[in-house]
Amino acid sequence: MHGGARATAGTLATVLLLLFAAAQPASGAVTAGGAVRPSAAQLLWLVKSNDLRALQQQARSDGVTLPAFTWVGCGRPSDTDRCRAGQQPIFTSYWQLRARAEAGWLGTAVFDIEPWRYTPEAERKDPKKWICRAARLQQIDPYLQVIITPFARPQLTRMIGEDVAAARCGAYAVDIQTQFANGTPRQFAVFLRTAVSAIRSANSRILILTGLATNNPIVQTPAHLVTDYHRALAAGVQGFWLNAATWLDENQCTPADGGLGCPNVGVQFLAQIGLTTHGRADQPRNDLVQLARDESFSQITGALAAVKTTLGKMLAGG
């Protein structure tokens, strides 16, 4: 091969490598520990269907557009709405979740195991056992992705232990229910850092979400949620469950907060972190594709670099 052709081929390989690098979206700031902190648009977001309806009504009143949430949870008793196509069912019993796995759900589902009457007593007596069984349901349905969202008291010991059980048994994601500490930044940060560290020690690949609530257990301000949001990012979470206490119409929200569930607090919070717009709604994100891209990009660029080196050697010897 002539020298000009060799140079052209080498240049082409270099250009391909640069194009792949340029095509990858910016992944956010780098933390002090060297980990990449995702931007708001790259985070994973879970919201219940009934909470989303309240947020959407408030957003329309405010003349803004909400972001496209990654997952919209649905189904009684955890949510008051029946599931629609494209939404993710929330189960409070292992056996309901198992039945869905055996039917071949091929998607994401939430296991909301808590000390309430909606979770069978046998499961609450030994929650780690049932959490682990739920995490391993992918052995029945390889495409099932279970987000496990335990709640228990005392939170510092028992709840973190249940979160760790989900991680150790290979759950797709776990939600740390930190709503109890919203509005108390130091307590929130210390608890969340402890939980994230314990979860990561058990499973370095599991997705970690954390809870932000507009009024659970007390009414928050948008500023409170913004503070907790940034502290959660610093702790290393990859997403949030944005929720509200609207059960039995019991809440302390005023008309200024948007009424039941304090949707005005939620919309203002989303606006302050840059997730609302005045134009067209964001296109829904395919979380599986995005996660696959994020996870494999370094492998792709490394392979391209190897191709460039090999091609250069071949051309030099030609």
**In this model, does residue 21 exceed pLDDT 80?**
no
Number of residues that this document lists for the chain: 318
Does some domain include residue 29? no
Does some domain include residue 25? no
pLDDT in tens, 100-158: 999 988 899 999 998 888 899 999 999 999 999 999 999 999 999 999 999 888 877 78
Residue 183 zone, left/alpha/beta (φ > 0; ψ -120 to 50; rest): left
Residue 256's domain comprises: 40-298
Contact 79, 46 (CB under 8 A): no
User: For the chain, how many helices (H) and strands (E)?
Assistant: 10, 8
Does some domain include residue 128? yes
Does some domain include residue 246? yes
Q: Any idea what the CATH number is for the domain that residue 219 is in?
A: 3.20.20
Most confident of 9-18, 37-46, 71-80, 180-189: 180-189
Does some domain include residue 3? no
Alpha carbon 190 to its chain's center:
20
Q: Which residue, chain included where needed, has tokens 């302050």?
A: 272
pLDDT at position 250? 60
Count CB atoms within 10 A of the CB of residue 123. 20
**In this model, does residue 263 exceed pLDDT 70?**
yes
pLDDT at position 37? 59
**In this model, does residue 20 exceed pLDDT 70?**
no
Count of domains observed in the chain:
1
Q: What is the Cα–Cα distance from 186 to 101, expressed in whole angstroms? A: 40
Does some domain include residue 31? no
pTM: 0.75
Q: What is the Cα–Cα distance from 80 to 91, expressed in whole angstroms? A: 13
User: 185-202 and 222-235 helices cross at what angle (nearest 10)?
Assistant: 30
Q: How far is CA 1 from CA 14, 50, 137, 170, 317, in A?
A: 19, 66, 56, 52, 9
At residue 42 the predicted structure's pLDDT band, cuts being 50, 70 and 90, is confident
What average pLDDT score do residues 164-187 get? 95
pLDDT in tens, 60-103: 999 999 999 999 999 876 656 788 889 999 999 999 999 999 99
pLDDT at position 22? 38
pLDDT in tens, 186-242: 999 999 999 999 999 999 999 999 999 998 778 999 999 999 999 999 999 999 999
Does some domain include residue 12? no
pLDDT at position 278? 79
What average pLDDT score do residues 40-68 get? 91
